[in-house]
């Protein structure tokens, strides 16, 4: 970064496992950096040093405004940024100042909560704000795949309701730590088996529990290859999620945040149900949301 | 053990995580020993030393007949004991001799396999044989709770069909390794919440995926206590299993192998469905099955 690229402000996406920082000029990225210093690895006192270890070399890093979203604002984070309750706009509450020994101007975006059924998000509200910045007035459903996938109903610029699914985490646990790991020792993913398993789980969600060990036995008895087992496991879990989330996507405009494998898997799973979901760049949405939050602090200060 | 209690034979229950040995006189236990040398910890060459480390001190251990059941007979075990295919009696195939450098007379009981839907068991066939020894001609269903719970349809002394569920393993993975572990840091188990969750999962199996993260959010937002979360998680998973296993238990005589917490949870879950299941001592069944296998070797030799 040279002097003409001195950041105007710094955007920070701080999740459970990763820390990502962006030196910004308006809505443009002039430099980026990332580390594994996620919230899960840090104590409260560790956030400021972790951030400065990453961006301390950037010009003016200690003097420009820093806007952060994600688990950094949880009770175990740098500072607790209280939840805003849906229905509301995604950036509903004033940002929360993080305590700093070096006089950093760090402001943390609040997550959202829902009373019934109980649910929470932190970080996704920023991506939703970014999505709405590119798609103002968009009425429909946004699916945010991840370790914990969120389905979000949006209308008139507000989050009406949302629901979280642990599908990604279950897939990781089952494929890496359960007896099925022995049947998943090679790479690859059979898309035809995936599609069939999605349909099966959607039509007969009560069969899910019975199907899991069948995958293991099919490998033991019939040498089912790893891509078959992986496609079936992924399809069963996403199919079960779609069965539970039907009220979200049925007959709706659906957008999916992400352009990689997991997002494409959701897109593929929805297609036979008559849903042609749009894929949206996740990092672009995160940065647009952080930019909207930064601008709100300029407008009010 | 004194000389009058020299074993006539030795019974071995050798699973993935535990090794249990019993010095036997007829059907009576005269000494017992156990270690953590399960199949999962051993290479093929490690089985014989692991067994002798446990029972080498018993009189005549190296000269009496040793009958073993469980994962010791798997491909990764001491010797592969080929599956018998259901429908069949539980001890259908001749026992398989394990290779021994010390001339031990070790014979391993075969597991059972099923072609459609693909399924396998190793060890449970011995418990089923033991159950039938105490309940000859019993017609109905036997549930064998465990890491991988089995539902087994028995008729006229034969195993007609069976189905394995990973419920126990899923409960352990979710409660110990997923984000829900943060909501399960205290002991206890709320039985009313359990019963409600079972009913809910049985009536609406498609909701399972949606309910899991709700448990986490309910803790974050409303300080749901750990026994509530644990009862709900257990109830949802067992309810989903019962929904998938309905063809097994509906309108049947049901016996459950085990007398501890997990067996009682299944019994409790089935009661509102009009099923009063009988609880059966698991170790007694294992030993009766091993004894039946031992006697079959005496009859044929």
User: CA A6 to CA A31: how far, in whole Å?
Assistant: 10
Q: What is the pLDDT of residue A6?
A: 85
Average model confidence (pLDDT) across chain B: 95
Q: Radius of gyration (Cα) for chain B, nearest Å?
A: 21
Contact at 8 Å (CB) between A252 and A141? yes
User: CA B233 to CA A94: how far, in whole Å?
Assistant: 36
Length of chain B: 301
DSSP single-letter state for residue B216: H
**Which residues from chain B sit within 8 angstroms of residue A245, using beta carbons?**
209-210
Q: Do A210 and B245 touch (CB under 8 A)?
A: yes
Average model confidence (pLDDT) across chain A: 95
Contacts of B260 (CB under 8 A, 6+ apart): none
Q: Do B115 and A221 touch (CB under 8 A)?
A: yes
Nearest to B205 among A115, A118, A205 (CB): A205
Q: What is the pLDDT of residues B206-265, one digit of tens each?
A: 888 889 999 999 999 999 999 999 999 999 999 999 999 999 999 999 999 999 999 999
- Two tokens, residue B205: 């199996």
Q: Answer whether B279 touches A (CB < 8 Å).
A: no
C-alpha dist (Å) from residue B192 to B199, B242, B269, B279: 11, 18, 11, 21
User: CA B264 to CA A241: how far, in whole Å?
Assistant: 30
Judged against a pLDDT cut of 50, whether residue A1 lies above it is answered with: no
Q: Answer whether A85 touches B (CB < 8 Å).
A: no
Judged against a pLDDT cut of 90, whether residue B301 lies above it is answered with: no
Q: How far apart are the first and last CA of chain B?
A: 28
| Least confident interval from A110-119, A178-187, B65-74 | A178-187
Q: What is the pLDDT of residues B105-124, one digit of tens each?
A: 999 999 999 999 999 999 99
DSSP single-letter state for residue B297: H
> A85 to chain B: nearest residue by CA?
B221
Q: What is the pLDDT of residue A33?
A: 97
DSSP single-letter state for residue A73: G
Which residues does residue B15 pair with via DSSP β-bridges, in sequence order? none
Query: A69 by DSSP, 3-state: which?
Result: strand
User: CA A205 to CA A199: how far, in whole Å?
Assistant: 10
Q: What is the pLDDT of residue A2?
A: 47
C-alpha dist (Å) from residue A178 to A246, B141, B266: 28, 27, 22
User: CA B144 to CA B164: how far, in whole Å?
Assistant: 9
Length of chain A: 301
Q: Answer whether B97 touches A (CB < 8 Å).
A: no
Half-sphere exposure of A130 (CA within 13 A, CB side): 23
Q: What is the pLDDT of residue A301?
A: 54
Contact at 8 Å (CB) between B165 and B241? yes
- Compute the C-alpha angle B259/B262/B263, nearest 5°: 40
Nearest to B240 among A170, A178, A208 (CB): A208
Q: Which residue has the tokens 């820093």?
A: A66
* Chain B contact probe: residue of A206, A219, A233, A245 with most B CBs at under 10 A: A206
Average pLDDT over residues A240-244: 96
- Two tokens, residue A4: 């003409």
Which residues does residue B34 pair with via DSSP β-bridges, in sequence order? B20
C-alpha dist (Å) from residue B283 to A124, B127, B222, B289: 51, 8, 42, 10
User: CA A14 to CA A265: how far, in whole Å?
Assistant: 25
User: CA A45 to CA A33: how far, in whole Å?
Assistant: 21
pTM of the model: 0.93
User: CA B158 to CA B253: how far, in whole Å?
Assistant: 15
Q: What is the pLDDT of residue B5?
A: 67
Contact at 8 Å (CB) between B257 and B263? yes
Average pLDDT over residues A173-188: 94
Contact at 8 Å (CB) between A53 and A92? no
Query: B6 by DSSP, 3-state: which?
Result: coil
Average pLDDT over residues B127-154: 96
Contact at 8 Å (CB) between B127 and B144? yes
Torsion-angle region of residue A272: left (phi > 0), alpha (psi -120 to 50) or beta? alpha
Q: Answer whether A173 touches B (CB < 8 Å).
A: yes
Q: What is the pLDDT of residues A18-54, one digit of tens each?
A: 999 999 999 999 999 999 999 999 999 999 999 999 9
Return the axis-axis angle of helices A226-244 and B208-222, rounded to nearest 10°: 60
Average pLDDT over residues A88-94: 96
User: CA A44 to CA A48: how far, in whole Å?
Assistant: 9
- Compute the C-alpha angle B182/B188/B190, nearest 5°: 100
Whether omega for the bond prior to residue A87 falls within 30 degrees of 0, making it cis, is yes
Q: Do A115 and B221 touch (CB under 8 A)?
A: yes
Judged against a pLDDT cut of 80, whether residue B300 lies above it is answered with: no
Q: What is the pLDDT of residues A248-258, one digit of tens each?
A: 999 999 999 99
User: CA B282 to CA A189: how far, in whole Å?
Assistant: 40
**Which residues from chain A sit within 8 angstroms of residue B214, using beta carbons?**
117-119, 164
> A203 to chain B: nearest residue by CA?
B206
Please report, rounded to a whole number, the percentage of residues in chain B having pLDDT higher than 70: 98
- Domains, chain A: 1-87+94-110 (3.30.420.300), 123-287 (3.30.420.310)
């Amino acid at each position: 970064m040279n002097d003409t690229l001195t950041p105007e402000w710094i955007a920070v996406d701080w999740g459970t496992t990763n820390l990502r920082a962006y030196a910004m000029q308006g809505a443009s990225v002039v430099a980026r950096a990332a580390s594994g210093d996620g919230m899960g690895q840090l104590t409260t006192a560790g956030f400021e040093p972790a951030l400065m270890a990453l961006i301390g070399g950037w010009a003016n890093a200690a003097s420009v405004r820093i806007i952060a979203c994600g688990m950094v604002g949880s009770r175990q984070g740098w500072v607790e940024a209280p939840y805003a309750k849906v229905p509301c706009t995604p950036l509903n509450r004033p940002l929360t100042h993080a305590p700093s020994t070096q006089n950093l101007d760090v402001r943390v975006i609040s997550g959202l909560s829902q009373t019934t059924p109980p649910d929470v998000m932190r970080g996704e509200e920023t991506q939703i704000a970014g999505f709405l910045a590119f798609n103002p007035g968009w009425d429909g459903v946004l699916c945010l795949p991840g370790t914990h996938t969120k389905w979000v109903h949006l209308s008139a610029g507000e989050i009406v309701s949302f629901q979280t699914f642990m599908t990604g985490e279950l897939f990781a646990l089952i494929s890496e730590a359960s007896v099925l790991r022995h049947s998943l020792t090679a790479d690859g993913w059979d898309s035809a088996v995936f599609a069939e398993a999605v349909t099966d789980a959607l039509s007969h969600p009560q069969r899910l529990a019975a199907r899991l060990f069948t995958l293991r036995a099919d490998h033991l008895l019939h040498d089912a290859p790893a891509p078959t087992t992986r496609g079936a496991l992924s399809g069963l879990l996403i199919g079960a999620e779609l069965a539970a989330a039907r009220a979200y996507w049925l007959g709706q405009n659906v957008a999916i945040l992400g352009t990689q494998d997991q997002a494409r898997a959701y897109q593929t799973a929805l297609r036979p149900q008559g849903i042609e979901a749009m894929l949206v760049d996740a990092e672009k949405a995160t940065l647009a949301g952080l930019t909207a939050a930064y601008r709100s602090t300029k407008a009010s200060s």
